[in-house]
Structure 1
């Protein structure tokens, strides 16, 4: 009976990760609609210049994130020596994700003329609030798990600092990017409105996805380690906590990897394609 309960609990804990991956798959439809709307308009010269400027800024800052990842590899070698062989890929991924969030959080303001009176979209028009709040919940859960394990001595100080400071900094940058995307007034020229909405949608989805991956992968690793550690202890009766932690760890890792696939395919900048006008 205990094994049956453990299996049911394991499956139940995996469900939220599956639902989260499904929600992000549906988010691709919102981005596709925003991209299609751009194809039905002819942007102004200011709009085309803004597109080129935004794309160039994103590429430059993401390259900076790649350099941060390489620097992280060097730091891991200096701190952990031979043990750092397992940290090269996480350090590189960490730098790339930070580059994505930093690029979106520091995007230059468009140079087109704003409408009068200024109009601003609601955040729910740019991205599903389920995804935004799931990002916040996952980031908070990762911080709580890291702090608890750090205080109990289950994490070295070097790992603890990284597990707390990096996700927190990325979360703050994502909130700044979301706030900027929401508060920026719409352009005065109607032809630039679909382009502006696409840029906002890109920013909202990229920062939310990047921070979600940045929190899900460490959270899954921490839960998995805690569950395995608890499973090695001798207790009376049947303990479901290790099963729940291991299942939560697998769910976090699986959801983070699935979301990373979406994120890689979403890094292409907004493009003007006039094929829709010639059909």
Structure 2
């Protein structure tokens, strides 16, 4: 009976990760709508320049993030030698995702004429509130779990500081990007409005996905570590380790799923008016 309850508990803890992946799957529909709206209009010359400028900026800054990740790998090899082999992929991922966040937080302001009086969109027009608040809650949970393990001496100082600093910095960059996308006035020319909406939608989903991944992957690792710790397993049926292991697997699987959706959002907004020429 205890084993059955443990299996049911394991499955139940996996459900939130499945629901999160499902929510990001639905977000792909929002991307299709926003991208399709751009194809239905012919943007102004300034709108086309804005699309090219934004795509170039994002590509350049993400390349800087990749170079920072490579530099981090080299530094880990110099400092830790062969012990650094397990850090190569995490360091590269962190560099790439921080590059994504920095690119969105520093995007150049479009130069088109804004509406008078100034009009600004609502947050729900850019991204689902569920995805946004899930990101924020996950960061807080990850920071709390990291600090708790650090306080109990389960984590060394370097690992704890990294696990606290990276999600916190990523969250700050995401909030800056989200705020900039929210307060920027909409363009005056109606042909540029779909372009503007698509750019805001892309930014909101990119930063939310990047921070979600940077919260889920370390959270899953920490939960797995706590769940398989022999000192934390008691005699008989102890459901806490089962819940921790299930939560760890769920967080890692959800993080990988969100990362897959993030890759699809990296493609820049494009306009070639295919719907008008057909």
TM-score by length of 2: 0.98
Residue 240 of structure 1: aligned partner: 239
Once the two structures are superposed, the pairs formed by residues 66-145 of structure 1 within 5 Å of their partners are 66-145=66-145
Moved more, 220-229 or 74-83: 74-83
Residue 264 of structure 2: aligned partner: 265
Unaligned 5+ runs, structure 2:
none
Unaligned 5+ runs, structure 1:
none
Moved segments of 4+, more than 6 Å: none
Post-superposition offset of 1:128: 0.4
- For 2:6 and 2:124, the matched residues in 1 are separated by 38
Root-mean-square deviation (Å): 1.1
Moved more, 17-26 or 74-83: 74-83
- For 1:48 and 1:278, the matched residues in 2 are separated by 17
- For 2:29 and 2:208, the matched residues in 1 are separated by 16
Residue 278 of structure 1: aligned partner: 277
- For 1:89 and 1:33, the matched residues in 2 are separated by 34
Post-superposition offset of 1:135: 0.4
- Within the alignment, does 1:253 sit opposite 2:260 as a pair? no
Moved more, 235-244 or 26-35: 235-244
TM-score by length of 1: 0.97
Q: Deviations over 1:67-124 (max 9, x none)?
A: 1101221232234321110110110011000000110011010000110000001111
Q: Deviations over 1:155-200 (max 9, x none)?
A: 1111111100011000011011111101100000000000000000
Post-superposition offset of 1:154: 1.3
- For 1:78 and 1:241, the matched residues in 2 are separated by 39
- Within the alignment, does 1:57 sit opposite 2:57 as a pair? yes
**How many residue pairs end up in the alignment?**
278
- For 1:188 and 1:38, the matched residues in 2 are separated by 16
Post-superposition offset of 1:232: 4.7
Post-superposition offset of 1:150: 1.3
